[in-house]
Amino acid sequence: LEVDKRLIERLYQNEGHLLAKVTDTKVEFSEDDQEIHIVFTIDEGRQFIVRNIYAPGDDVFLEKDLLPYITVEKVKPYNVSKIIESMDKLKELWGEKGYINIDVYPQPKPDEETGEVDVTFYVERGNRVYANRIDITGNESTRDRLIRRQIDLEEGDLITAKKLESSQTAIERLSIFERGGVNWR
């Protein structure tokens, strides 16, 4: 039920109801226990339209460089899925500069009077990450050099999201590890 509540809230939030909340859930069983009736009480709140979008820049990217990666649209209903998509795109952009431990924090500021919302995407980038040492563990039957040839990084290289992703895909294509069995630490 908790998952269903979150999915219902997300559905409303994708239609601009930024403050939508499932306020109550009632579960009733039929007398013969063959049916379950679930009633969700929803407070959808007001629909908000995006007024402004901000992405404060810094010495690596200016705001004008970041805004094209944001899929949230002005003069459209607030959409939490577009917020998440924008966060992922910004993380990918920063990841190409070596900031792979980046956090993106969207902050919506709703204006109850006008029914509009301003959204600001704040970034906490941390430090650029370089490969210090590459150790390969978990391979019992394959020589390390076969796996190392698939890695787009060498010790001392700047680690980028693209290099990590392409290396992981190449290693998984070898079919040595289980699908999703490549983990970076």
Mean confidence (pLDDT) of the chain: 88
Cα 107-112-114 angle, rounded to 5 deg: 105
With cut-offs at 50, 70 and 90, classify the pLDDT of residue 181.
low
With cut-offs at 50, 70 and 90, classify the pLDDT of residue 4.
very high
pLDDT in tens, 73-95: 999 999 999 999 999 999 999 99
* pLDDT at 11 exceeding the cut of 90: yes
Compute the average pLDDT of residues 33-52: 93
User: pTM of the predicted model, to two decimals?
Assistant: 0.78
Q: How many angstroms separate the CA atoms of 48 and 110, rounded?
A: 7
Neighbours of 16 (CB within 10 A): 21
* pLDDT at 172 exceeding the cut of 90: no
pLDDT in tens, 110-168: 999 999 999 999 999 888 888 888 877 766 666 777 888 888 888 888 888 888 888 88
**Strand 116-124 vs strand 103-111: parallel, antiparallel, or unpaired?**
antiparallel
Residues 6+ apart with CB under 8 A from 61: 93, 94
